[in-house]
């Protein structure tokens, strides 16, 4: 931790998506490491962790939208940004299916705007772009590794595939110091998207209601605790700042476990000592049935290891919602 603090102490860092799930925890971790944090904020939602925890008072806030490149270039220049963490995205699959254009604008146009602004800002020395395991699309050969082709088919998946490829193009064409993270389904305290399985299940149990599973319960996902995600992003940024060989590379971060939605819900019910049984709707559409990742490259190239297990992540998540909702 001391080495980490020495690296980040007084380092100017721009975070997009700081009011989101991962962004909130990443902001907290960077503040604790002594970084000088600047957050691009579009919408003000009082329930978001960055605001609820008063962390917002410890950062510089730039109000604006990723689609406005002038705002991005001003922020990078005026605050002399050294490191950029690009996490902002429209991240809900069902919203992307209903509103593909706004998803494409946020996730694709927003990414190229940010990378172009960074290209025009010579003070930027390290950029981490958050992609997703959804960028791989539906594949027969699992687990995904970083050489698996990017084959998104539905609006959200396609938006992540495109942003990922655009990032690679900026690294290869302009030698931009940028690398990509591809993680599974994040969970943890601070996720206010109640149609996601972890916060939705916890809220239902706290209300004495049966948790709802939109799919048939047998979809396989790779769940990843948010504090591990924040730590992984910081590690990658640190390594990228001094290693040119990492430019343009992508890294999977994962517990490397196959978990069905039904098993995850039952694990939450056990942890909360609830006798409730889930309600399985079997209504999911345009979603990939099986996804899980190999994190071998992150382990061998970056020396990465997770801090928590899935069970430990859930044990840290449930009290956050209990405090929020009771």
Residues annotated catalytic, as ranges: 156
* CB 143 within 8 Å of CB 220: no
Question: Strands 259-260, 220-221: parallel, antiparallel or unpaired by DSSP?
Answer: antiparallel
DSSP string, 45-88: -TTSHHHHTSGGGGSEEEE--TT-HHHHHHHHHHTT--EEEE--
Interaxial angle between packed helices 110-119 and 69-78, expressed in degrees from 0 to 180 and rounded to the nearest 10: 40
What is the spatial distance between Cα 167 and Cα 176, in angstroms, rounded to a whole number?
A: 9
What is the spatial distance between Cα 203 and Cα 115, in angstroms, rounded to a whole number?
A: 38
Judged by DSSP in three states, 173 sits in: helix
Residue 141, phi then psi, degrees to nearest 5:
-95, 120
Q: Could you tell me which of 240, 224, 234 has the C-alpha nearest to residue 291? A: 224
Q: Cα(first)–Cα(last) distance of the chain, in Å?
A: 34
What is the spatial distance between Cα 248 and Cα 105, in angstroms, rounded to a whole number?
A: 23
Q: Which H or E run contains 231?
A: helix 226-240
SS (H, E, C) 239-257: HHCCCHHHCCCEEEECCCC
Judged by DSSP in three states, 19 sits in: coil
């Amino acid at each position: 931790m001391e080495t980490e603090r020495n690296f980040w102490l007084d380092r100017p860092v721009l975070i997009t998506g700081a009011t989101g799930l991962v962004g909130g925890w990443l902001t907290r971790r960077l503040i604790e490491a002594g970084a000088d944090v600047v957050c691009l904020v579009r919408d003000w939602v009082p329930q978001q962790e960055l605001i609820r925890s008063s962390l917002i008072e410890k950062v510089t806030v730039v109000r604006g939208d990723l689609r406005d490149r002038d705002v991005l270039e001003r922020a990078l220049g005026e605050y002399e940004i050294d490191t950029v963490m690009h996490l902002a995205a429209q991240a809900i699959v069902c919203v992307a299916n209903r509103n593909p254009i706004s998803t494409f604008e946020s996730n694709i146009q927003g990414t190229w705007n940010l990378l172009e602004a960074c290209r025009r800002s010579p003070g930027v020395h390290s950029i981490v772009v958050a992609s997703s395991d959804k960028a791989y699309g539906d594949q027969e050969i699992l687990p995904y590794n970083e050489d698996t082709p990017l084959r998104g088919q539905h609006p959200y998946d396609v938006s992540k595939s495109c942003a990922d490829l655009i990032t690679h193009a900026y690294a290869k064409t302009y030698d931009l110091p940028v690398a990509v993270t591809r993680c599974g389904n994040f969970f943890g305290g601070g996720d206010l998207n109640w149609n996601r399985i972890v916060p939705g299940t916890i809220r239902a149990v706290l209300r004495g209601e049966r948790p709802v599973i939109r799919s048939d319960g047998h979809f396989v996902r790779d769940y990843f605790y948010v504090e591990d995600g924040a730590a992984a992003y910081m590690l990658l940024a640190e390594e990228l700042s001094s290693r040119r060989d990492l430019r343009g590379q992508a890294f999977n971060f994962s517990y490397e476990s196959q978990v069905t939605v039904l098993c995850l819900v039952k694990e939450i019910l056990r942890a909360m000592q609830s006798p409730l049984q889930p309600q399985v709707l079997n209504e999911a559409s345009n979603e990939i049935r099986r996804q899980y990742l190999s994190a071998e490259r992150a382990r061998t190239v970056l020396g990465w290891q997770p801090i928590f297990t899935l069970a430990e992540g859930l044990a840290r998540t449930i009290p956050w919602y209990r405090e929020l909702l009771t």
